[in-house]
Amino acid sequence: MNLVSLARLIAVWHARNLEFVRDRGTLIFTLLVPVAMVIGMSFVFGGKERPLFKVGVLAAQVDHEAHPFLGERFVDFVAMPDEAAAIHKVARHDLDLLIDVRPPARYWVNPSSPKGYIIEKLLLEADRDAHRQPVSGEAVRYVDWLFPGVLGMNLMFSCLFGVGYVVLRYRKTGFLKRLHATPLSAFEFLSAQVLSRLTLTVVVTTVLYAGIASIIHFQNAGSLWLLAMLLVLGSLSMIALGLTIAARFSSEELVGGLLNLLTWPMMLLSGIWFSLEGSPQWVQWIAQIFPLTHLLDAARAVMLDGAGVAAISKDLAYLAVTAVAFLAFGAWSFRWRVE
Amino acid sequence: MSAALLEVHNLVKKYPAVTAVDGVSLAVPEGICFGLLGPNGAGKTTTIEIMEGILGASSGEVRYRGEPLGQRFKEETGILFQKTALQDFLTVRQSLALFRGLYAKGLAVDEVVKLCALEKLESRDSRKLSGGQLQRLLLAIALVNDPTLLFLDEPTTGLDPQARRNFWELVQSIKARNKTILLTTHYMEEAELLCDEIAIMDRGRIIAQGPPRRLLREHFAEVLLELPRQEFPEAARQLPLRLIEASDRVEITTDDLDGTLRVLMDARVPLTDLRIRPPNLEDLFLELTGKELRA
């Protein structure tokens, strides 16, 4: 068993950083794509509300027979077991209205929400005696909600493909085989790759955060230090996930396919573009498998709602545990050369 | 002879369809250049990669300074593989610094640069080096830890004749620093020039081993006559001569040059393109296997 040498680790980390920084095409692509995407999205979706009415129902399940209003068409009724969380969503315009159908029926609506105004009229048509509970709060712009998603998506691609293809290239060209002839251990090599990609991801994401936030006039509601911790843990988890794919295989087609197999479900189900609220429960369970889901849920809680460590502790723990588990699996299954 | 630095005992490497190494045993004494000679596919690279600790053997063992290969072996050996790519976008100096950083002890980067005549290439991207320049850089990387034992696997394959000669000079200067070198090659000229001892491999086995001159003395008479094959009459093949047939020529070894020439003239064999030369390792390989070394 080799002892871990910091000098060897730093030598490989430094060389990988030089390689990335000098690859101008990749560097520019990494920086420009998310900026262009957020600016584009802000034009497309800026200021517009989502077309569907979304009404929260204070219950574990929505029973459409429980109240005449729950039979309305073109309204998405979503079960909300947690009253405080649901009221907060009304305040942020995430829900157009919240109703508790248990007699006497009560409802919460934000007077500054245009859709809340209309859906309230529909409710009162169905039940004139429902008690109004006004809620105040500013709407979350779609571009603000999208911002963490785009940063997370960029981070996911950078971590998975950046590490996956780089290690695959090293193996195919024989560079890994040459490193294997030195005292460098697999753990040192993998750790250097993780730390190098982590350094680059933190720097690039920080630059993007500052740049995009100034363009879309975004104000972070929470702690920047907490966001930084999320960035580090989220990156570690996804870099290590990329290493599990790159650790063993030598076929570009296979590695590309496996990386796509990981990224596309995350693109669709981790909440980059839209919230999964209201989608079937099994879809939400699947989404919870992905590190990106936990990263985005926690980042949005911090950035939009000012959540603290306690509120996102489960997400932090999930990211930390998966990072360690993926890295251990990657080191175990690592191959220096094409078999 | 000094004690063996590296020893191989009954090495076997089997793949599903082929046995690449079939019971190889050899010992490399300290301070010499040991050549593993053979045609493509003979099992040289597989054997050397097992000796380097890169590839596992199906059976048999490799010992360095009498011990199984371990961390000390990696710290004290340098390797130049047949094919190696370096990290993209790094200069010659940065590539050397990377590998220097992987060893606890070694030479200063400046010293290795000077040793391998890389002074004018230090700041060049390693991807923009010519074949000969890249081989010099790879040799410099193999030397960066000031190794006791240096593996060179077909180091001049693909180089032009000038680059090959420059590389040989470099290896000779490294030999002069009292390094032990294990070299594989299919160029007999390279082996004759650089190696103190050789082992000839064919089909995964060692078929002859010893100092090149001793092996030649053991297998050949004094001189070798060489004639173009198409000009050698079929009837002359029945003459009482020691014939070796290559693809393009017929070789005759003899210690009685006058008598042999008389026999050939009597048989009316055309002697216009006759060459008389001392035998070399390529002839030895042909003699031992009936095949040419570069086949």
For β-strands B180-185 and B149-153, DSSP reports them as parallel
DSSP secondary structure of A255-287: HHHHHHHHHHHHHHHSSSSS--TTS-HHHHHHH
DSSP secondary structure of B122-154: TTSBGGG--HHHHHHHHHHHHHTT--SEEEEES
Cβ neighbours of residue A251 closer than 8 Å, sequence gap 6 or more: none
Average pLDDT, stretch A76-90? 87
pLDDT at B2 over 70: no
CB B22 within 8 Å of CB B204: yes
Question: B4-216 maps to which CATH number?
Answer: 3.40.50.300
Residue labelled with tokens 């002074």: B119
Residue labelled with tokens 């055309």: B270
Average pLDDT, stretch B100-120? 92
Distances (CA, A) of B152 to A132, A223, B171: 85, 57, 10
- b/e per residue, A77-91, with b = 16+ CB within 10 A? bbebeeeeebbbbbb
Task: Please confirm whether the linkage preceding A104 is cis (ω < 30° from 0).
Answer: yes
Question: What per-residue confidence (pLDDT) applies to A52?
Answer: 66
Which of A15, A175, A183 lies nearest to residue B71, judging by beta carbons? A183
Of A24-28, A56-60, B103-107, the range with the lowest mean pLDDT is: A24-28
Which of A16, A18, A184 lies nearest to residue B102, judging by beta carbons? A184
What span, in angstroms and rounded, lies between the C-alpha atoms of A108 and A94?
13
Q: A58: which DSSP letter?
A: S
Contact B84 A174 (CB under 8 A): yes
Question: What per-residue confidence (pLDDT) applies to A318?
Answer: 97
Q: What percent of chain B has pLDDT over 70?
A: 97
Task: Look at residue B66 and give its three-state secondary structure.
Answer: coil
Q: How far is CA A196 from the centre of its chain?
A: 21
CB A108 within 8 Å of CB A97: yes
Question: A18, A178, A335: best mutation site toward chain B, by most B Cβ within 10 Å?
Answer: A178
Q: What percent of chain A has pLDDT over 70?
A: 91
Q: Which residue numbers of A have CB closer than 8 Å to B's CBs?
A: 2, 5, 7-8, 10-12, 14-16, 18-19, 22-23, 170, 173-175, 177-184, 336-337
* Residue numbers in A near B71 (CB within 8 A): 2, 183
- Shortest alpha-carbon distance between residue B34 and chain A (Å): 20
* Residue numbers in B near A177 (CB within 8 A): 54, 81, 84
Average pLDDT, stretch A214-238? 89
pLDDT at A92 over 60: yes
Q: Which residue has the higher pLDDT, A306 or A39?
A: A306
Q: Which ranges of A174-185 would DSSP assign to H, the alpha helix?
A: 175-180
pLDDT band at B1 (very low <50, low <70, confident <90, very high): very low
For β-strands B4-14 and B59-64, DSSP reports them as antiparallel
- Shortest alpha-carbon distance between residue A179 and chain B (Å): 8
Average of per-residue pLDDT values in chain B: 87
Contact B98 A11 (CB under 8 A): yes
List the one residue out of A168, A339, A239, B126 whose CA is nearest residue A176.
A168
Of A27-36, A115-124, A316-325, B61-70, the range with the lowest mean pLDDT is: A27-36
Report the CATH fold assignment for B221-278.
Alpha-Beta Plaits (3.30.70)
* Residue numbers in A near B70 (CB within 8 A): none
List the one residue out of A33, A32, A27, A47 whose CA is nearest residue A217.
A47
Average pLDDT, stretch B129-153? 92
Q: What percent of chain A has pLDDT over 90?
A: 24
CATH 3.40.50.300 segments of chain B: 4-216
Length of chain A in residues, anyone?
339
pLDDT at A274 over 80: no
pLDDT at B295 over 70: no
pLDDT at A68 over 60: yes
Question: B15, B72, B89: best mutation site toward chain A, by most A Cβ within 10 Å?
Answer: B89
Question: What per-residue confidence (pLDDT) applies to A78?
Answer: 87
| Nearest residue of B to residue A338, measured between CA atoms | B55
pLDDT in tens, B216-257: 888 776 788 888 888 888 877 788 888 888 778 888 888 788
Q: Enter the tokens of residue A53.
A: 């009415």
pLDDT at A12 over 90: no
First to last CA, chain A: 23
Which of B85, B90, B101 lies nearest to residue A18, judging by beta carbons? B90
pLDDT at A1 over 50: no
pLDDT in tens, B19-65: 999 999 999 999 899 999 888 788 888 999 999 998 889 999 999 99
Q: Which residue has the higher pLDDT, A23 or A120?
A: A120
What number of C-beta contacts closer than 8 Å exist between A and B? 71
Which of A19, A183, A336 lies nearest to residue B88, judging by beta carbons? A19
* Residue numbers in B near A22 (CB within 8 A): 89
Average of per-residue pLDDT values in chain A: 84
Q: Which residue has the higher pLDDT, B163 or A241?
A: A241
pLDDT band at B291 (very low <50, low <70, confident <90, very high): low
* Residue numbers in A near B141 (CB within 8 A): 178
- b/e per residue, A92-116, with b = 16+ CB within 10 A? bbbbbbbbbbeeebebbbbeebebb
Instruction: Supply the ipTM of this predicted assembly.
Output: 0.79
DSSP secondary structure of B213-258: HHHHHHH--SEEEEEEGGGS-GGGGGSSSEEEE-SSEEEEEES-HH
